[in-house]
Structures are given as C-alpha cells and as structure tokens.
Amino acid sequence: MARAIYPGSFDPVTRGHLDIIGRAARVMDEVIIGVLANSAKTPLFTVEERVEMLRECTAQWPNVQVETFDGLTVEFARKMKADVMVRGLRAVTDFEYEMQIAQTNHIVEPNIDTMFFTTSLQYAYLSSTIAKEVACYGSDVSSFVTPNVARRMEEKFREKHGGAAR
C-alpha cells in the first residue's frame, strides 16, 4: 500500500492545492495532508480552521485524510508511515527550492521519496498569498478557492477590518 503525505500550511487551501491533492489521490492508495502548525508565522486561519476547510474540500476523495504536525516534515512522514512526500511545482523557481528540500529529506530519511506534480496550467500563477491579497481588498476569489473557503476568507477580512473588507 503506497501512502503519501502532502505537507503545507494551506493558509488557505486553494484550487491549485486541490488539483495536486486530487491527482495524488488517483495514484496513491492513501494521501495524508499534513497541515503545518508553524508558530513562527502568523497565519490568517488557525490550524483548526485550515484542517476543517481541507476536510470539507477533500470529502470527495475517500483515500485522503487531514492531520496536523509541527517540526520536520520527514518526522511527520515517518510518524504517518509514508513512503512518499507529494510536492507541487508551479514554476522553475519552485523546482530549485523543492529539489533542495527533497534531497535534504532523502539524506535524513532515505526510505521516503518525493513525488513532484506540476500544477495544472490554470493554477500555475496561484498561491495562498495571492488569494489572501485579493480577498483582503474585497475582490472575488471564486476562481482561486472553493465557495466554503471564499466565505471564510470574507468573514476573516470583515473581522480584521472592522465590518468590511478593505
């Protein structure tokens, strides 16, 4: 049984992330999404909110589950008994960084391989940061995120800006 983890902050989960998750779910027996609880960052959504949104967005794939972790991704992979780490590549610039991380992870844990998925063209520009920037100014993010995530982003920015998005 091939088990993969797909680690990230998912703040918030985008349609690009879901594209990678769906494709990984087709080729792996099990995909565990690892939501990073990074205390050094100040995310828009709490870890619990990100997990809940991911569970809503991935309910269509019975072989996908969502967990949280902190610390080294390789340690999370070991704990989950994963064989593979899934990573998405949007551009050549992502490749250099991801290759370096994959090689480091392989030295730390030689039994875990990294599988790269190139992002589908329609999402190649998309990141969580872009989605948040657009939402912050009250613009439509429906092409970036699912309706449940868009609604939550709108609520967050309304709270943040005292009743209205900027």
Is 3 marked active-site?
no
- Helix H or strand E segment including 74: helix 73-79
Q: Is 90 a catalytic residue?
A: yes
User: Is 17 a residue of the active site?
Assistant: yes
- The two three-digit tokens of residue 58, written as one number: 């991935």
Which of the residues 17, 50, 87, 132 is marked catalytic? Answer: 17
132 is catalytic: no
Contacts of 86 (CB under 8 A, 6+ apart): 4, 5, 6, 20, 24, 28, 31, 114, 115, 117
**Which of 15, 50, 128, 132 is the catalytic position?**
128
Give the Cα separation of 101 and 87 in Å (integer): 10
CB atoms within 10 A of CB 19: 17
Q: Which of 80, 92, 101 is nearest to 29 (CA)?
A: 80
Single out the catalytic residue among 78, 79, 90, 106.
Answer: 90
The catalytic residues are 17, 41, 90, 128
